[in-house]
Structure 1
Amino acid sequence: MDGSQRTLLITLTGRDRPGVTSRLFSTLAGFPVTVADVEQVVIRGRLVLGVLLECPQNADIGQVWSAAEKVAADLDMDIEVSTGRDKTSPRRRGRLHVTVLGSPLRPGAMAGIAGRIAAGGANIDRIDRLASYPVTCIELQVSGADPVALRAELTAEAAQQQVDVAVQRSGLYRRAKRLIVMDVDSTLIQGEVIELLAEHAGCLPEVAKVTEAAMRGELDFEGSLRERVALLAGLDAAAIDEVRRKVQLASGARTLVRTLKRLDYKFAIVSGGFTQVTDGLVEELGIDYSAANTLEIVNGKLTGRVVGEVIDRAGKARALQEFARRAGIPISQTVAIGDGANDLDMLQAAGLGIAYNAKPVVRQAADAAVNVPYLDTILFLLGISREEVEAADAEDPPAAG
């Protein structure tokens, strides 16, 4: 005896309706076989059901085969049956989740990604769809790959194909993420608060130029912040209230926060912007922790200075560590999201760093990049499907507003 096990692989395909799976297994229950594996998927109303059976030496495989074919005939479905001898072996190591986001997602992109996976000697074990809108999101479970090497290969392919790809270790490591720490300006909200204030102060071109250079990493953030704030000196503090009313959340922001809070995630924001705006976001969205700079106001006017220590690149990373400590969550279970160079330390310190519509230097350094204008697509990187989000909203409708 070579220790191998006789196997029978049954694949049923056809129109999906209730009772197909039950009917097949009820028939198989009359034979001395065991179930080794089952896969089932429904695509546009068409069912594909695969069942791998282990058959002892005394089992009549021919009878099992015939019985399965009769089930298929009765159900007016197609069937394919194959036999073999499989030696029991452990699953391949290096299991990863590869998440692909496309708008649209074209066959060439999937071909390129699958080709890179195969070229690296890895195998695609399973493919699932997590969303069909606002982007198409497909998740591949891959085994036998080195995560660093595969991430580099797929990042290059994603750039060519104009899609987003994330590579993460599977299992408990991925499921354990429990603290989200997010940048605010141009991430949680649309635009930059300091530029909205500069518009009121009549110095928008000067401020916008410095902001852009700072986000690309060309200027020291603290120095650039103080330079921009100084241009606001003398601005009436009432302008802050007007800016606060103009602030718009990024598309999908409410869905992202609402869904993760339902899953008992802690949510934090950390900003190089100002508490005079972020405090309102904390209250509006039910955010657990926050850190930002504070504009100095004297006699109802901005002085052109900030109060206290500046939240800069290093300060954002320290804030992430402090939020994790307060929440009792290991750094490995944190997710950081940002777009500018001042987010780099935070993204690299987190368990998962996501560049959101970010500058090139940030995309290159992050674990994953999202380049579509829908913040809730980050849910897909955490393995949460659009269908699950909608089902939760149907059971507990979100508040209006």
Structure 2
Amino acid sequence: MKQRTLLITLTGPDRPGVTSRLFTVLASFPVNVADVEQVVIRGRLILGVLVSYAGGPPTGTGGTLGAMWAAVERVAEDLGMEVELTTGTDLKEKRRRGRLHVTVLGNPLQPAAMAGIAGRIAAAGANIDRIERLAHLPVTCIELAISGADSAALRAELTAEAVLQQVDVAVQRSGLHRRAKRLIVMDVDSTLIQAEVIELLARHAGCMDEVEKITTSAMRGELDFAASLRERVALLEGLPESVFDLVRKEVVLTPGARTLVRTLKRLDYRFAIVSGGFTQITDSLVSELGIDYSAANTLEVVDGKLTGRVTGEIVDRPGKARALERFAKQAGIPISQTVAIGDGANDLDMIAAAGLGVAFNAKPVLRQAADAAVNVPYLDAILYLLGISREEVEAADAEDGLPPQTSPTLGGPSGSSG
């Protein structure tokens, strides 16, 4: 017998017992629950219940379809809510192609940006199935579930719109592919921390301007990283080994760094850092944050002074990609389940190799190559790309006895130290 459907939509002030009252009424009729969706926005509830039944109007202890409708209307009136009823015959939802998640980050997020994003989605012939807010402070993050779109084509369209609207947009495939990422591999200088360690060292050596100029060119991809590193390190010759203690005290974590690591490790992620910087500094970060794996260069020290050389194999652009593959193998995690985060040209190979490549406040050459770009100054905004909301993070912190965040950052109780 042909299945018919009824879509009942209740809207109004949210309060305890709404869902229970509605289903209690429906229980008096020979209908089956086919689908339920509910959302609460600023205390206002929207509840949709799709029920199915065979043949003509349902009958039962409550009578005909009209009797059921009257009973639902009485519940709505009693609750001070509005109700709509839509009938149909299509029970099975047509499976749409190209299910995607689109994550939009704005600081602030303006209506024009959402209009532009939604317009591009519509122009691509895609449909917005669901919209959810993942965060409202210090950035606003909205996630849209999309169907009917080609991933590459939509990403190109939304990337162009993001530039116009000055927001960040990421497009990812939905489902298990998105949820399965279990290894984070992150660059250090200007990503995990707010400075370039070699420039901090250069300040003590009196060659800051020269080193900074070379670093900037290397990060833009204008110079070979290994050659530029040797050139910069040579300028540090003669510095006392005690300079490392001074620089460690000068290192400042990027806002949100602690929250990002803490949250993902709660979810049993493995965390790695890979750096063109130096083990004399990264080793302390490994200890402080509980990092699982690390790779970096080592400055040569002889008789208590820097020689102006590095020892061992240089961790350069291809070296970072090799490190990602090595860490994944050690963790027993497929490359497809890795996330790489960086900011410069020497992160290109690592970003390309990972299951998800994220450009964090990056140079243009990396932003163009990455799967997603985040340009807000909060590192744990990357959690939203993985579908983790700020409310979930704060709830987990509260369960662990951590004080509530008081700063405007997502960095955690210590504010900008993240």
The equivalent of 1:14 in structure 2 is 12
The equivalent of 1:238 in structure 2 is 242
The percentage of counterpart residues that share the same residue type is 76
The equivalent of 2:31 in structure 1 is 33
The equivalent of 1:267 in structure 2 is 271
* CA distances 1:118-157 after superposition (whole Å, capped 9, x unpaired): 1111100000000001100000000111111110010000
* CA distances 1:81-102 after superposition (whole Å, capped 9, x unpaired): 1212215244212100000000
Question: Does 1:121 pair with 2:125?
Answer: yes
- What is the aligned counterpart of 2:223 among 185, 196, 219? 219
Q: Please say if residues 296 and 304 of structure 1, whose CA atoms lie closer than 8 Å, have aligned partners that are also in contact.
A: yes
- What is the aligned counterpart of 2:252 among 228, 231, 248? 248
Structure 2 SS opposite 1:186: helix
* CA distances 1:329-349 after superposition (whole Å, capped 9, x unpaired): 000000000000000000010
The equivalent of 1:396 in structure 2 is 400
**Partner Cα distance (2:401, 2:302) in 1:** 44
Question: Does 1:94 pair with 2:92?
Answer: no
* CA distances 1:47-79 after superposition (whole Å, capped 9, x unpaired): 111111112225132222211111101111111
Post-superposition shift, 1:162? 0.4
Q: Please say if residues 250 and 375 of structure 1, whose CA atoms lie closer than 8 Å, have aligned partners that are also in contact.
A: yes
The equivalent of 1:75 in structure 2 is 79
The equivalent of 1:358 in structure 2 is 362
* Residue correspondence of structure 1 range 300-315 to structure 2 within 5 A: 300-315=304-319
**Partner Cα distance (1:63, 1:35) in 2:** 18
Distance 1:87 1:34, change over 3 A: closer
* CA distances 1:308-352 after superposition (whole Å, capped 9, x unpaired): 000000000000000000000000000000000000000010000
Structure 1 SS opposite 2:325: helix
**Partner Cα distance (2:194, 2:261) in 1:** 16
Q: Please say if residues 293 and 311 of structure 1, whose CA atoms lie closer than 8 Å, have aligned partners that are also in contact.
A: yes
- Alpha-carbon RMSD across the aligned residues, in angstroms, is 1.2
* CA distances 1:146-190 after superposition (whole Å, capped 9, x unpaired): 111110010000000000000000100000000000000000000
Aligned letter for 2:50?
A: L
* Residue correspondence of structure 1 range 2-401 to structure 2 within 5 A: 3=2, 5-58=3-56, 59=58, 60-86=64-90, 88-398=92-402
Number of positions where the alignment pairs a residue of Structure 1 with one of Structure 2: 399
Aligned letter for 1:111?
A: A
**Partner Cα distance (1:183, 1:397) in 2:** 30
Please say which of residues 51-60 and 316-325 is displaced more in the overlay: 51-60
Post-superposition shift, 1:276? 0.2
Structure 1 SS opposite 2:381: helix
Please say which of residues 66-75 and 173-182 is displaced more in the overlay: 66-75
Structure 1 SS opposite 2:188: coil
Structure 2 SS opposite 1:93: coil
**Partner Cα distance (2:53, 2:107) in 1:** 46
Q: Please say if residues 52 and 91 of structure 2, whose CA atoms lie closer than 8 Å, have aligned partners that are also in contact.
A: no
Aligned letter for 1:289?
A: Y
**Partner Cα distance (1:64, 1:391) in 2:** 40
Q: Please say if residues 55 and 61 of structure 1, whose CA atoms lie closer than 8 Å, have aligned partners that are also in contact.
A: no
Post-superposition shift, 1:398? 4.1
Aligned letter for 1:31?
A: F
Structure 1 SS opposite 2:118: helix
Q: Please say if residues 355 and 370 of structure 1, whose CA atoms lie closer than 8 Å, have aligned partners that are also in contact.
A: yes
Please say which of residues 282-291 and 44-53 is displaced more in the overlay: 44-53
The alignment's TM-score, normalised by the length of structure 1, stands at 0.98
**Partner Cα distance (1:345, 1:274) in 2:** 20
Q: Please say if residues 5 and 91 of structure 2, whose CA atoms lie closer than 8 Å, have aligned partners that are also in contact.
A: no
Q: Please say if residues 184 and 271 of structure 2, whose CA atoms lie closer than 8 Å, have aligned partners that are also in contact.
A: yes
Aligned letter for 1:195?
A: E
* CA distances 1:354-396 after superposition (whole Å, capped 9, x unpaired): 0000001100000000000000000000000001000000101
Structure 2 unaligned spans of 5+: 59-63, 404-412
